[in-house]
Structure 1
Amino acid sequence: MIKKISFTVALGLASLGALSGQKLLCQEDGNVTEGKKRAEEERATKKTKPRPGPTPGQQRRAASSKCFLTGSWRNELGSEMQIQEVNRDGTFSGEYRTAVSLAQRPIQAAPLNGSQHFDAAGQPTFGLTVNWKSFSDSTTVFTGQCFVDENGKEILETMWLLREKAEAHDGWGATRVGKDVFTRINGQNVDESVRSDGAR
């Protein structure tokens, strides 16, 4: 009798063990599935996660810096321009030396004249005209904005239109459009004595 009870108890325990083992096996499968879901969600989040922006220090530096047009600038093609002091009314003049030309005559420095908008934040918009009369029958107009980036570097982002002399009314064929980004040649901010906002 004792042997029968022991056998029955043993059989019952084995059944319970099998049942509980089955349950645990199911729970483990569920955990694995849940883990896979979580991993997939994390991967998806990483793909769509925005790139980190400028640090608070960089933002403060950019906000406290002003961009001044006065000085020497060079674009990505190697063309250079020198902007003289900006007058109190926003007008300025200077000189432009292009690094690229389709003209048959040798490249020479060309005069430029322009005007800027005075901006309290120090990120002014501006426009300027370059007359290539010294070696070409064409004129270029630039419009853009003076920025200070998150690293404190001054840049001029510009768009331009170049109009060549045409024999007939061919506005589209005689006009080219492009964009240039200029950086200060010395990589330094202009001295306060020649501020482009006309302040002394």
Structure 2
Amino acid sequence: MVQATPFLLLLFLALGAHGLAVKKCSLTGQWKNDLGSNMTIYEVNEDGDFSGKYLTAVSDSSSEIRESPLLGFQHPPDESQPTFGFTIRWNFTNTISVFTGQCFEEGNREVLKTMWLLRSRVENIKNDWKATRVGYNTFWRLE
């Protein structure tokens, strides 16, 4: 039994080691955030560039909400739990949003933790102080 112990230890480590590695979090796919907004990110290319679409669930605009395009970058594209950023050009109002965040593995689920800026157009520089909003969102992958 003493001679078998090193063999069993090596076998255990070899079979169990894959579970110790950090999973790779992928941005590609469909996501829903804590406010009910939906986002689709198309394939991230080898340079980390991606595009997609965003349908917000909330707005202070009187216009009808419409799906809007997004463009972004993931850095670095080949590591687990990457950082990323993307811009949304809203199709129903004259505002722009920029998001920055990181993709995490939380248990068996991928989570995007983000911070955003929403810039609204104002008529003059005196109103610049009220043109930018700041917020946070958490996104979960849709199964």
TM-score, length basis structure 2: 0.82
8 Å CA contact 1:62, 1:148 repeated in 2: no
Letter in 2 for 1:97: L
Q: 1:158 aligns with which of 114, 120, 126?
A: 114
5+ residue gaps, structure 2: 1-17
Call closer, same or farther: CA 1:61–1:78 in 2, change over 3 Å.
farther
Match of 1:141 in 2: 98
Q: 1:168 aligns with which of 102, 108, 124?
A: 124
Match of 2:71 in 1: 113
Structure showing the higher helix proportion among its residues: 1
Q: 1:84 aligns with which of 27, 42, 57?
A: 42
Match of 2:24 in 1: 66
8 Å CA contact 1:116, 1:124 repeated in 2: yes
5+ residue gaps, structure 1: 1-59, 187-200
Runs of 4+ residues deviating >2 angstroms = 60-64
Match of 2:85 in 1: 127
Cα deviation, residue 64, structure 1: 3.2
Structure showing the higher strand proportion among its residues: 2
Q: Secondary structure at the match of 2:114?
A: strand
Cα deviation, residue 121, structure 1: 4.5
For residues 33-72 of structure 1, the aligned pairs below 5 Å read 61=19, 63-72=21-30
More divergent stretch after superposition (83-92 vs 111-120):
111-120
Q: Distance in 1 between matches of 2:86 and 2:20?
A: 25
Cα deviation, residue 65, structure 1: 1.2
Match of 1:185 in 2: 142
Say how many residue pairs are matched.
125
Cα deviation, residue 62, structure 1: 7.2
8 Å CA contact 1:92, 1:113 repeated in 2: yes
Larger Rg computed on CA atoms: 1
Map Cα deviations across residues 154-187 of structure 1 (whole Å, 9 max, x no partner). Answer: 000000000001011233301100000000011x
- Aligned residues: CA RMSD: 1.5
Call closer, same or farther: CA 1:152–1:176 in 2, change over 3 Å.
same
TM-score, length basis structure 1: 0.60
